[in-house]
Amino acid sequence: MYQAPVDDMKFVLRHLVGLDGVAALDGMDMVSDDLVEAVLDEAGKLAGEVIAPLNHAGDVAGSVRHDDGRVTTPAGFGEAWKAMSEGGWIGLNAAPEHGGQGLPQCVSAAVNEMWNGANMGFALCQLLTQGAIHALEIVGSDAQKDTYLPRLNAGEWSGTMNLTEPQAGTDLAALRTTATPDGDHYLIRGQKIYITYGEHDMSENIIHLVLARLPDAPPGVKGISLFIVPKYLVNEDGSLGARNDVHCLSIEKKLGIKSSPTAVLQYGQDGGAIGYLLGEENRGLDCMFLMMNSARFDVGLQGLAISERAYQQAVGYARDRVQGTPLEREHGDAIVHHPDVLRLLTGMRAEIEAMRALLLVGGASLDRAHLLSGDDADFWQTRANLLIPVIKGWMTERSLQLTSDAVQVHGGMGFIEETGAAQHLRDARILPIYEGTTAIQANDLIFRKTLRDNGDAVRILLAEIRDDMARIAGGGNGVAGIAGSVTAACDTAETVLDTVLARANAPRDAAASGTDFLMMLGYLAGGWQLARGAAAAARATADGEGDPAFMKAKQVTAGAYMAYSLPEVGKMAARIAAGPETLAAMDPAWL
């Protein structure tokens, strides 16, 4: 069973994010330690008691499409959605003027980790709805905001994102869905695939955000517009009207997240689905990327969440399972005492805590970018833009290994579906793929976030890491060795940055380095946050604050990360140095 890691979330928000600083931002005066603790505690109860028990059964049953196009979700999902909606959890970080709770992104991210750790297939509906809310808040007209946001925030309606078509995946320039002007609206015709919660029975209405082309649109991605296409049309008084011309043709049969209905949607089967322009004509991709940036952050969050869920199950199994006598232990001791099992679990815990810290610090960067102004806002937006591909790429790639490690801890029982360990591995496999593959994140990081500014954003990050490590090393808190390890890794990363910049005029070589560069920054940033956490825990212990065992575990876990995970920085550096030359010598015909 799942227990939300509330204590670690509270620690990160207080000591690494600096929740007091977030609370001091304009519009965040309602935020306090007491409020956030109450929010996390209540969310943890809902996640553990209501949502998590549906996870395995939902995976077995899956969502079902009926002959008339209706889709029913697994038993209990509708009731869980109602409980989440009535608790005000859908619009947790949305603007209060349209029914949101107005809490910062860093707090919302912690809560979203709970939903996804409890039941990722279920929680996808909430993440997509939050993304639709975010897009409407930024580019929606006042009338659109008044019509859609209160009901989306209340969970009465849910949202989707419609990009992909059978012939247009990553290459959105190949998109064919059309939007024909028709009075005060447009008629949408085309087919979209891989639409998460594109049809379901949990909310009264589904608000699709759909990319399509106007008749006179320029070719390529510059000619794409974004449209609001509700499943049911909305009357002037806000009540639901006629069914729109959008239909679910099928739902995909998938490796994982089986409880989540991934729909093929047909628009305009009977003449044209009524849609409304969102934002400006031919600027749809810009609008959608507002939603996509948030979605990529959230998928990184899912990598953390599924790893935490798998880790908890592995720990529970290892504490109960007796197999052989662990070295230097007593007969009857559980397998958690076998050195290699302990190594696996220790490494998992270290990376998961590093992920959580980086995620919430990244969320706070988004908060500061949104709530500050001028140069301060620009700085934090640049920092968030740099961290998001790392969060998305590193956390999702590592979730594959971490969930696999959890299966390994179970031994043969992990390969048996009844234990549930295999589900986490299957569910994790989509994460490095959707909302932009790891290669897309790497290209974004290399070309847009590194080469474009000649490495300035990365150098500023490295300088901050060095400064933090210097303060920790000089603090006399017993964690100087940890800080020294991170500083050495930072020096390695600086050398790698110079290598990458030297490839600016050789784009194939730069691209060949991208994924390793992304993973290197992920490992380094995770070590940075764990070193900060170890220092904070040492200070708390010295001051007599908190649970001594918890604080000691934070320091030991940070040390484990330096032993097992941070050395990957050097490995990635070696790959970046040698990789492009190796690829240049490889003829694809030989493969």
Examine the domain organization and report whether 166 and 275 are in the same domain: yes
- Cα distance between residue 480 and residue 237, in whole Å: 64
pLDDT score recorded for residue 321: 85
Residue 192 CB neighbour total at 10 angstroms: 28
Examine the domain organization and report whether 442 and 591 are in the same domain: yes
Examine the domain organization and report whether 138 and 166 are in the same domain: no
Place of tokens 């509708």: 78
Domain edge (last residue) among 282, 304, 320: 282
Categorize the per-residue pLDDT at 547 as very low, low, confident or very high, splitting at 50, 70 and 90: very high
Q: Lowest-pLDDT range, 72-81, 215-224, 443-452, 455-464?
A: 215-224
Helix (H, G, I), strand (E, B) or coil at 184: coil
Per-residue pLDDT, averaged over 60-68, amounts to 97
pLDDT over 90 at 563, yes or no: yes
pLDDT score recorded for residue 280: 94
Are 9 and 356 in contact by the 8 Å Cβ rule? The answer is yes
pLDDT over 90 at 328, yes or no: no
Are 132 and 207 in contact by the 8 Å Cβ rule? The answer is yes
Query: Quick one: which H or E segment has residue 161?
Result: strand 157-162
Examine the domain organization and report whether 225 and 147 are in the same domain: no
Per-residue pLDDT, averaged over 321-335, amounts to 86
Examine the domain organization and report whether 147 and 163 are in the same domain: no
Number of domains in the chain: 3
- Cα distance between residue 118 and residue 111, in whole Å: 11
pLDDT over 80 at 121, yes or no: yes
Per-residue pLDDT, averaged over 189-203, amounts to 97
pLDDT over 90 at 333, yes or no: no
Domain edge (last residue) among 255, 282, 309: 282
Domain assignment present for 309 = no
pLDDT score recorded for residue 332: 83
pLDDT score recorded for residue 325: 84
Are 186 and 227 in contact by the 8 Å Cβ rule? The answer is yes
Q: Which residues pair with 210 in a beta bridge?
A: 162, 227
Examine the domain organization and report whether 40 and 168 are in the same domain: no
Examine the domain organization and report whether 138 and 167 are in the same domain: no
Examine the domain organization and report whether 457 and 587 are in the same domain: yes
What is the model's pTM?
0.96
Q: How large a percentage of the chain has pLDDT more than 90?
A: 91
Query: Quick one: which H or E segment has residue 492?
Result: helix 480-501
**Residue 485 identity:** S
Instruction: Give the β-pairing of 240-243 and 64-65.
Output: unpaired
Examine the domain organization and report whether 146 and 205 are in the same domain: no
pLDDT score recorded for residue 330: 85
- Cα distance between residue 500 and residue 84, in whole Å: 46
pLDDT score recorded for residue 370: 94
pLDDT score recorded for residue 289: 77
Domain assignment present for 317 = no
Active site residues: 435
pLDDT score recorded for residue 521: 98
Domain assignment present for 300 = no
Domain assignment present for 341 = no
Convert the pLDDT of each residue in 397-438 to its tens digit.
999 999 999 999 999 999 999 999 999 999 999 999 999 999
Examine the domain organization and report whether 172 and 149 are in the same domain: no
Q: How large a percentage of the chain has pLDDT more than 70?
A: 100
pLDDT score recorded for residue 535: 97
Convert the pLDDT of each residue in 352-398 to its tens digit.
999 999 999 999 999 999 999 999 999 999 999 999 999 999 999 99
Q: Lowest-pLDDT range, 66-75, 321-330, 439-448, 575-584?
A: 321-330
pLDDT score recorded for residue 475: 84
pLDDT over 90 at 180, yes or no: yes
Convert the pLDDT of each residue in 145-170 to its tens digit.
999 999 999 999 999 999 999 988 77
Per-residue pLDDT, averaged over 236-248, amounts to 96
Burial label, 388 (beta-carbon count in 10 A; 0-12, 13-18, 19+): buried
DSSP state of 415: G
Domain assignment present for 391 = no
Query: Quick one: which H or E segment has residue 43?
Result: helix 33-46
Place of tokens 């969050």: 301
Domain assignment present for 87 = yes
Residue 511 CB neighbour total at 10 angstroms: 17
pLDDT score recorded for residue 579: 85
The parent domain of residue 589 ranges over 438-591
pLDDT score recorded for residue 306: 98
CA distance between the termini of the chain: 45
**Residue 382 identity:** T
Domain edge (last residue) among 226, 256, 282: 282
